[in-house]
Amino acid sequence: MLIDDVKIKAKAGRGGNGAVAFNATKMSLGPTGASGGNGGSIYFEGVSDLGTLSQFRYKKELAAQDGERGKRQFNDGSNGKDLILKVPIGTVVHNLSTAKDAEIISIGQRLLVAKGGRGGKGNYKFRSSVNTSPTEFQEGLPGEECQLHLELKLIADVGFIGLPNVGKSSLLNELTNAKSKVANYPFTTLDPNLGVYYELILADIPGLIEGASRGKGLGVKFLRHIERTKTLFHFISAESPDPKKDYQIVRNELGAYSKELLDKQEYVFLSKADLLDKNEIDEKLEKLKAIGKEAIPISIIDDKSLGFVEEILRKIIKQKY
């Protein structure tokens, strides 16, 4: 199961206390207490593997190492080790403690989520001409602590949407190297799948049904994965007795989730067109035309129709630049 929404706690390391020590072998009793090490910080680092949020399924509390306390003889404590965790690109990090949001958008990008506390100064650092045997020292500071809400919002160019069982995953597999599960029943796809078509990332998401925005079927939580796409491919099965209704059901659910989804560039496909004869197809296309939708009939067993889809994808690639 793809983990795409998780709350965790992050606690950076505490700084080590400064030491109080004196050079007992010298008459002067000079201070030698060294500083504590800094606490380790916690970072996220972007990777392309969508599965990496699953590390937080059971591990909900992250902690980086504390800094070591200062030692005698000018020996500073060592710094706590940083904790660097890999998260998928597209992860939105809501810091619930500071109410700030940040986003991992590129591979290798590092985001500091909790800074380690500073180590305290040892008494050596407090020496002065008037205070040659200071007993002061600083305590290490606590590391930052925060509650984080991580939400994966896939970074894709094109989102595949539609009712269940309309051939979304089939087309993704046809066009890309993706191996999205395909079967002749609804809700075959339970998690989003990505495929790469030249410079484009295509996202196939689970099917929507009427009431999805109220939690029916698999719900609408997957729609966040298409929030950031520029373009939607809306699939309507040629087998549908009422393609217009199918179209509207999905649009209603999109709108109930976010009006912005309705403003995206959209291509409507009448899928599985091979199952009907030409007259029947024309009839269904007419029905969609009546609501202003120029649908394009496609079939994964008809190379010519796949060629049309690829033409559209090339156009989308051009728009990118």
Ligand X SMILES: Nc1nc2c(ncn2[C@@H]2O[C@H](COP(=O)(O)OP(=O)(O)OP(=O)(O)O)[C@@H](O)[C@H]2O)c(=O)[nH]1
Nearer to ligand X, 96 or 275 (CB): 275
Residue among 11, 168, 251, 293 that touches ligand X (CB under 6 A): 168
Cα–Cα distance between 27 and 98 in angstroms, integer? 52
DSSP character at residue 3: -
Site string for ligand X, 111-150 (x = CB under 6 A): ----------------------------------------
Nearer to ligand X, 46 or 243 (CB): 243
- The helix/strand/coil state of 45 is strand
Nearer to ligand X, 42 or 218 (CB): 218
Q: Which residues inside 257-316 make contact with ligand X, applying CB under 6 A? A: 271-272, 274-275, 299-301
Which residues make beta-bridge pairs with 158? 202, 231
**Cα dihedral 97→98→104→105 (10° resolution):** 140
Q: Which residues inside 149-208 make contact with Mg ion, applying CB under 5 A? A: 168-169, 188-189
* Binding partner selected for residue 17 from ligand X, Mg ion, none, CB under the kind-specific 5 to 8 Å limit: none
* Binding partner selected for residue 167 from ligand X, Mg ion, none, CB under the kind-specific 5 to 8 Å limit: ligand X
Site size for ligand X (CB under 6 A): 24
Are the beta carbons of 92 and 5 closer than 8 angstroms?
no
Q: Where are the beta strands (DSSP E) in 212-285?
A: 231-237, 265-271
The residues, any chain, with a CB within 8 Å of residue 144's CB and separated by 6 or more, are 10, 11, 12, 114, 115, 116, 117
Contact residues: ligand X, CB under 6 A: 162, 164-170, 182-184, 186-189, 206-207, 271-272, 274-275, 299-301
